Amino acid sequence: MERVTVEKSVLKENDRIAEEIRGELEKRGILCYNIIASPGAGKTSLLEQTLERLAGGPLQVTVLTGDIQTERDARRLARFGFPARQIVTGGTCHLAASMVQRALDEIPLDGLHVLFIENVGNLVCPAAYDLGEQAKIVMLSVTEGDDKPLKYPSIFSRARLLVLHKMDLLPYTPFDVEAAKADARRVNPVIEIVETSVVGPPGMDGWLQWLEARVAERT
């Protein structure tokens, strides 16, 4: 009983900070997406190509990338001219709103359109922690198997968008795209879905169009 009570109060404090972050970002017209997926689903490579495609364009983007150890991802992402900042959680299996708040104190928010938060690679724990985002995005790579929406319903039910990633590997792996989509919609009837690959068709267009439509709605 004691453990449950303590966990609830941690989550309540997290939600309070998340609301502060959301208020601040909305006041500034900044879209914020919390990207959640398994380790190795392709979060960093999707963001790499996203930044590469957006470089030189009108959209200003910043990435906060969470990891338990290492600053590798921020280094990978910093090559494209947009700010990228690593949050090393030091053992914690998810980002928390307080970590995001500290990071936001140190990055410029003026003129920013989109803030991506790349969560720790974990399909479970991050789902419970509001980071002040406008929406959660869940990524599922086809090599992980089509049974994941029903096995990890918490994140699929809370995400606005499902990114079905590594579609180029579909010929080499048993993955029923229609079954995965149907199961995702079973746990979340309004979830939106895009299919992506960083190395071949269907490429990144569906994802970038989704993102640009969100920015257009906002302005």
CB of 125 vs its own copies, minimal distance in Å: 5
How far apart CA 127 and CA 117 sit, in angstroms, is: 13
- Using CB under 8 A as the criterion, what x/- string covers residues 67-106 for binding its own copies? xxxx-x------------------x-x-------------
CA–CA distances in Å: residue 166 to residues 10, 143, 159, 171, 208: 36, 8, 19, 11, 16
Q: Is 172 in the site for its own copies (CB under 8 A)?
A: yes
Strand partners for 64: 85, 117
Q: Is 203 in the site for its own copies (CB under 8 A)?
A: no
Number of chain positions touching its own copies (CB under 8 A): 38
Q: Is 40 in the site for its own copies (CB under 8 A)?
A: yes
CB of 52 or CB of 168, closer to its own copies: 168
Q: Which letter does DSSP use for residue 204 in this model? A: T
Q: Is 107 in the site for its own copies (CB under 8 A)?
A: no
Burial 62-88 (b: 16+ CB within 10 A, else e): bbbbbbeeeeebbebbbebebbbbbbe
Q: In one letter, which amino acid is 168?
A: D
CA–CA distances in Å: residue 145 to residues 41, 108, 130, 173: 11, 39, 27, 8
CB of 134 or CB of 143, closer to its own copies: 143
Candidate segments 26-34, 77-85, 107-115, 143-151, binder of its own copies by CB under 8 A: 143-151
How far apart CA 215 and CA 78 sit, in angstroms, is: 22
Out of 120, 138, 139, 162, the only residue in the binding site for its own copies (CB under 8 A) is 120
Candidate segments 49-57, 104-112, 136-144, 201-209, binder of its own copies by CB under 8 A: 136-144
Of 88, 99, 64, the C-alpha closest to 78 is 64
- Site residues, its own copies (CB under 8 A): 2-3, 6-7, 10, 38-41, 67-70, 72, 91, 93, 120-125, 141, 143-145, 147-148, 150-154, 166, 168-169, 172-173
